[in-house]
Amino acid sequence: MEPVIVIGAGLAGSEAAWQLAWRGFPVELREMKPAQMTPAHHTPWFGELVCSNSLRSDQLENAVGLLKEELRRMGSLILACADAHRVEAGGALAVDRHGFARSVTEKIRSHPLIRVAQGEVTALPPEGNVIVASGPLTSDPLAQAIRDFFPESHYLNFFDAAAPLVTFESVDMDSAFFASRYDRGTPDYINCPMTEEEYDAFWTELCAAREAEVHGFEDSGVFEGCMPVEVMARRGKQTLCYGPLKPRGLRDPKTGREPFAVVQLRRDNADGTIYNLVGFQTHLKWPEQKRVFSMIPALRNAEFVRYGVMHRNTYLDSPRLLDRYYRVKKQPRICFAGQITGVEGYVESTASGFLAAVELARRLEGRPPVDFPPETAVGALALYVSNESVTDFQPMNVNFGIIPPLGYRVKGKRNKNAELSRRALEALDGLDWR
Ligand SMILES: Cc1cc2nc3c(=O)[nH]c(=O)nc-3n(C[C@H](O)[C@H](O)[C@H](O)COP(=O)(O)OP(=O)(O)OC[C@H]3O[C@@H](n4cnc5c(N)ncnc54)[C@H](O)[C@@H]3O)c2cc1C
């Protein structure tokens, strides 16, 4: 049997390759790393996380928590590896990024039905079954080939930024304290408090700091969920204090009070030797990042092991091009998966790779597709991405707004969300998705 060609061994491509192989189909997984890296990838590993090490909430009252649980129940490779490399992060699923990506790579490389073909893909394969999962930073020749393949449509894009990483030993713990907000869960975050005077000085310098040049950024949007910290700061002096620097529920043990502002650091690896600055995605020039972020008292001597970067993030106008199985309407032998389809985020990209592969496997077996119902997060996301009535298509994180309402009243938002999740998991359990 001819192998299915999967282009890109990121989150979507690795998941898709694994699901196909698990169902007995040979796969050729084509990946250009390590010979050629995108501007945001740094390692040879598959399933590399380009920015945060958090896969966000792991609770069923949250839609991304539901999506994870659905993927777990259906045997997702990415979720299994993430669970195995979890680092403490309150109610979120955060991972040791290197341990996680290494384990994805080892699983893929040791599967007898997956052949890894290294090298940049520059054209869409002219025949056979293909899943394109080359991500938001698809290399230029392939991006051009995709453009040519869809002459009827524009590529859409926005900008995505990554946050810096610092070493734990360089954080001044005399000026910081471990805690979780409202003391919920274990005290996993390092909190760096600031007085009003310290915040004022920091905010002033942050607003005036020099940005790196990013071609085309001036006339394009940023994804609101991943806005550079300096762009958010310029919206107003208090904006950060209601956003990533929110002090609510974080009492400084030294003063017994909530500080004026708090920068939170989240553990980035299992050893706890590296931390990331939560919400500090940025595209300031690197020396400016060091100068301005070192004004945070606990980071005055911080050693930056990686600076924040910003990149154009490209995606298809999927509602006009793809069906609910992420297949190209005009040529269904080709599917797209991952962020390039307009799903936004690590877990969402994984989910689209999963669904595209399951559907392809069913087709190859001569079986009818599984129509994941809109009540499930996996199904709702695919239906959103392929919904022709959406005109101004924007990247979408999974959320309860794209899932049909319950149709009966449940008091309280958390209870209502928990009930939506219960309904979704019940629907999933009644479905033959194998
Ligand atoms: C700067 C930046 C920051 C981000 N921060 C976050 C974040 O904090 N949290 C979050 O959830 N999401 C974030 N994202 C979105 C993130 O990219 C996706 O969530 C996720 O990585 C997408 O998965 P994917 O499988 O679609 O693509 P990727 O994980 O990017 O995988 C694509 C793979 O395809 C390979 N490839 C590309 N072109 C070719 C080619 N021509 N031939 C062969 N191989 C190729 C790449 O090397 C890569 O391995 C960020 C994106 C960017 C650009």
The structure's pTM equals 0.83
Report the separation in Å between the CA atom of 291 and the middle of ligand 1, taken as the mean of its atom positions.
29
313 lines ligand 1 (CB under 6 A): yes
Instruction: Locate the ligand 1 atom nearest the alpha carbon of residue 48 and give its number.
Output: 29
3-state class (DSSP) for residue 256: coil
pLDDT digit string, tens, across residues 253-263: 999 999 999 99
pLDDT digit string, tens, across residues 68-108: 999 999 999 999 999 999 998 888 999 999 999 999 999 99
220: confidence class by pLDDT, cuts 50, 70, 90? low
102 lines ligand 1 (CB under 6 A): no
pLDDT digit string, tens, across residues 359-418: 999 999 999 999 999 999 999 999 999 999 887 788 888 999 899 999 999 999 899 999
Average pLDDT over every residue of 230-237: 94
Residue among 50, 71, 122 to mutate when testing ligand 1 (max atoms within 8 A of CB): 50
9 lines ligand 1 (CB under 6 A): yes
Instruction: Locate the ligand 1 atom nearest the alpha carbon of residue 134 and give its number.
Output: 34
345: left (phi over 0), alpha (psi -120 to 50) or beta: left
CB 113 within 8 A of CB 27: yes
51 lines ligand 1 (CB under 6 A): yes
DSSP 184-214: -SS--EEEEEE-HHHHHHHHHHHHHSPBPP-
12 lines ligand 1 (CB under 6 A): yes
24: left (phi over 0), alpha (psi -120 to 50) or beta: left
pLDDT (0 to 100) of residue 225:
67
